[in-house]
With several copies, the nearest count.
Chain A
């Protein structure tokens, strides 16, 4: 190997280049080396590659130009992962055996949308490879303009803050929309992310078309004894920095005005032995994030301030159905749902899908006098 790759094999952090080499497949290593040297990728559009019956889940790649010979094809499977990304070694070993047989022995746990990615499955083996994958119990995830593989945090499986059952919701929704995951028919991608609490460990507010975030509605529970164990300065700092000004700490008394609290989790995170979220639990549903959009980056905003979430999550599914239908009808190509809403008007969207406007949906009411009386 030459020096440019040698550099990337050195050091203390585990090297992905060593892993590429460990696959024993020289092609990808050589291809990657050439890209680094020439400072550009050589992949062209993979053309239409896929599994019979599906129109999504496989990302096709063929190298073109000078690199065409090095790596003529390099397709990958996006595999729908289990909720919470828990695995047994048993099933992982099956996946390893499977990728050894059909692919180039290379995996990624997980892609940024949380699909399990398996690399190097040749075009003529896509169908049998998929069939064997299904037998291990796995299906493909989304790609293209479809409902995408959702994401959820570890939630109730391991986290004391979980206010909704993120794993169950994820699994239910993925089953509900599995047809739409595999058959792109929307204006663009549609991503759902489910976080158990406002810490939002799925970063749903920053990068999902629909964010489901566990929240509580009643008062924060205070364990006065546990509170006493925190230092004065710590309590003072938390009171000072509570963003809603809900906390007062005076003469040794720590008080929360729950009416003013905006459930940011900050005090709970810091004083975690003493404070707990309330018991009246559900979720806020946010809409419209997109990392980089037609109008700049969009962060997700409030659509439903509070929704109770119990199986079978009927209300949530109905909401998603309404959103998808509306967007399907009004969206332009390559327009994410938040952008369609912005373009057409949030109020109009609410009216169309039958949701009452609420002041919780906006920071503040409009400042310009240009509106329609619809």
Chain B
């Protein structure tokens, strides 16, 4: 095989930029939100480009892609892009093409929207479709949420944008750690130890190093008459992270009865206003309930209702919660506050409420 084809790096992006974009590269001075899903970019040269944003599925067949290419050929001189939230964006230079393109997209079932203060595309990881770690199935959860929240994607009248992300496990592929609403798959039982596989395929010493809570210890065990190396797991210490299973198939952690999801709120990744905010735990555990995920949908809808009712203009969910206080938010969404909500990990001290700056809620009798 030709080694000169190794390490060529990414293709030259300039080849893929519409000539109007190339000409106005770095010269944009203004944008206008023409309608949901459509942004008009205006250059200092007077040139104009419209981007038309549509939702696409996480997994797309080559025929699906070809269909989108057909549209881009018809209305975009063959140029398109994908966004940081995995939407497709059509590059339209002729204004009259905008509505035509939208019509074709909508007719084919691709919703146009997701700009300004709308529900943005729901980021989700591969889940059961390609991952060995998944404690829950993110793609189907995202689908269930999309159905319930569809209209919010197409309108722009939320107080601010809402970003939802779904990760199949606490590896948090995607930006679940800083999303307005995050759904994260959770195990709730330690891995089982299959000594033979650990012995045959894994390194006990590496396992000891990898466990964040020091729950793994090397052990010797008798199997078929001879002593073999394996590990033991301290069930008191294990926090079900799956790190060990990721490197060692002898420690299976999947458990249909006890795997499920947690719901997190209030994260935000941009530097605006008070800056970065982490997602915080709202619901520690709901057992897996595909394919409709009714319970998740119900709670997310409730969160959004509370958000719409209580947020000030331009206020993200997390900003609103910080303003009214987490204790009030728990009261409003009516979710129980439990032991799991209180951090007990390395930086736990950071979140203890120093002083008395709290509000009274029904939690205080």
**Contact assessment for B29 and A215 in the assembled complex, using a CB-CB cutoff below 8 Å:** no
Cα-based distance from A273 to B213 in the complex (angstroms): 52
Residues B9 and A174 in contact, CB atoms below 8 Å apart: yes
Contacts of A93 in B (CB 8 A): 66, 69
Q: In the assembled complex, how far is the CB of residue B166 from the closest CB belonging to chain A, in whole angstroms?
A: 11
The answer to whether A299 touches B337, judged by C-beta atoms less than 8 angstroms apart, is: no
Q: Is the CB of B280 within 8 A of A138?
A: no
- Residues in A with CB closer than 8 Å to B351 are 362-367
Establish whether residues B270 and A345, one from each chain, have CB atoms under 8 Å apart when the complex forms: no
Q: Do A369 and B10 form a contact, CB below 8 Å, given A61-B132, A112-B174?
A: no
Roughly how many angstroms separate A211 CA and B359 CA in the complex, as a whole number? 19
The reply to whether the CB of B46 lies closer than 8 angstroms to some CB of chain A is no
Give chain B residues whose Cβ lies under 8 Å from the Cβ of A85.
Answer: 81-83
Q: Which residue of B lies closest to A350 (CB)?
A: B339
- Of A17, A36, A76, A365, which is within 8 A of B280 by CB? A365
Whether B355 pairs with A135 at a CB distance below 8 angstroms is: no
- Give the interface SS of chain A, mostly helix, strand, loop or mixed: mixed
A-chain residues with CB within 8 Å of residue B285 when the two chains form the complex: 373
Task: Return the contact of A369 from the options B170, B249, B346, B364 (Cβ within 8 A).
Answer: B170
Residues of B within 8 A of A251 (CB): none
The 10 tightest CB contacts between A and B, nearest first, are A345-B344, A301-B352, A206-B178, A13-B146, A203-B269, A366-B343, A134-B5, A359-B327, A156-B26, A83-B13
Stretch at the interface among B95-103, B133-141, B219-227, B298-306: B133-141
20 example contacts (A-B, Cβ-Cβ < 8 A) are as follows A61-B132, A80-B10, A86-B16, A112-B174, A134-B8, A154-B83, A160-B41, A178-B9, A205-B276, A206-B175, A262-B357, A264-B275, A295-B346, A345-B342, A345-B344, A346-B342, A347-B344, A357-B337, A361-B342, A371-B284
Residues B335-354 near A (CB distance < 8 A): 337-349, 351-354
Residues of chain B with a CB closer than 8 A to A334's CB: 209-210, 243
A100 close to chain B: CB less than 8 A:
yes
CB distance B358 to A262 under 8 Å?
yes
Q: Nearest residue in A to B248 (C-beta to C-beta)?
A: A45
Enumerate chain A residues within 8 angstroms of B292, measured Cβ to Cβ.
Answer: 7
Q: What does the 1/0 interface line of A260-278 toward B look like (CB < 8 Å)?
A: 1111111001101100000
A43–B26 touching, CB < 8 Å: no
A332 touches B209 (CB 8 A): yes
**Taking A206-B177, A291-B171 as contacts, is the C-beta distance between A178 and B78 under 8 angstroms?**
no
List residues of A (96-145) whose CB comes within 8 Å of B's CBs. 96-97, 99-100, 105-114, 119, 127-128, 130-131, 134-135, 137-139
A50 vs B47: C-alpha distance in the bound complex, in angstroms?
46
Interface 1/0 per residue, A275-296 and B, CB below 8 Å: 0000000001010100110111
Cα distance A364–B325 in the bound complex, in angstroms: 8
> Which chain B residue shows the least CB distance to A260?
B359
Nearest CB in chain A: distance from B288 CB, A: 5
**Which among A157, A260, A294, A301 is the interface contact of B353 at CB below 8 angstroms?**
A301
The residues of A that contact B188 with a CB separation of less than 8 Å are 373
- Complex Cα distance, B26 from A167, in Å, reads 11
Asked if B60 contacts A288 (CB within 8 A), the reply is no
Q: Please give the distance in Å from A287's CB to the nearest CB on chain B.
A: 9
Residues of B within 8 A of A53 (CB): 3, 6
Contacting residues, chain A, for B137 (C-beta < 8 A): 35-36
Contacts of B241-284 to chain A: CB distance below 8 A: 241, 243, 249, 254-256, 259, 262, 266-267, 269-276, 278-282, 284
CB distance from A289 to the nearest CB of B (A): 8
Chain A neighbourhood of B63, CB < 8 A? 22, 96, 105
Contact across chains for B354 and A300 when beta carbons are under 8 A apart:
yes
Once the chains are docked, how many angstroms separate the CA of A160 from the CA of B25?
10
B326 touches A86 (CB 8 A): no
Q: Does B7 contact A (CB under 8 A)?
A: yes
Of the candidates B81, B150, B342, B361, the one having the most CB atoms from chain A within 10 angstroms of its own CB is B342
Interface assignment of B55: CB less than 8 Å from any CB of chain A: yes
Q: Tell me the minimal C-beta distance from A139 to chain B in angstroms.
A: 5
- Bound complex: CA of A82 vs CA of B16, how far in Å? 8
How does the 8 Å CB contact mask read for A283-322 relative to B, with 1 for contact and 0 for none? 0101010011011111111100110000000000000000
**B181: CB under 8 A from chain A?**
no
Which B residues are CB-close (under 8 A) to A22? Answer: 61, 63-64
Asked, given contacts A16-B59, A347-B339, whether A39 binds B64 with beta carbons under 8 Å apart, the answer is no
Which residues of B have CB within 8 Å of A286?
Answer: 355-356
- In contact, A44 and B177 (Cβ under 8 angstroms): no
Contact B359 A108 (CB under 8 A): no
Q: Which residues of B151-205 are within 8 A (CB) of A?
A: 170-178, 184, 186, 188
- Taken together as a complex, chains A and B put the C-alpha atoms of A35 and B276 apart, in Å, by 36
B56 near A: Cβ within 8 Å?
yes
B326 lies within 8 A of A295 (CB):
no
Q: Determine which of B51, B88, B123 lies in contact with A158 in the assembled complex, contact meaning CB atoms within 8 Å.
A: B51
Q: Does B314 contact A (CB under 8 A)?
A: yes
User: In the assembled complex, which residues on chain A have CB atoms less than 8 Å from the CB atom of B172?
Assistant: 291-292, 297, 369
Quick check: is A253 within 8 A (CB to CB) of the other chain? no
The verdict on A19 contacting B280 (CB below 8 Å), with A200-B270, A366-B345 known, is no
Instruction: Give B31's nearest chain A residue, CB to CB.
Output: A160
Q: Which of A36, A301, A306 contacts B291 (CB 8 A)?
A: A36
The smallest beta-carbon distance between B1 and chain A, in angstroms, is 6
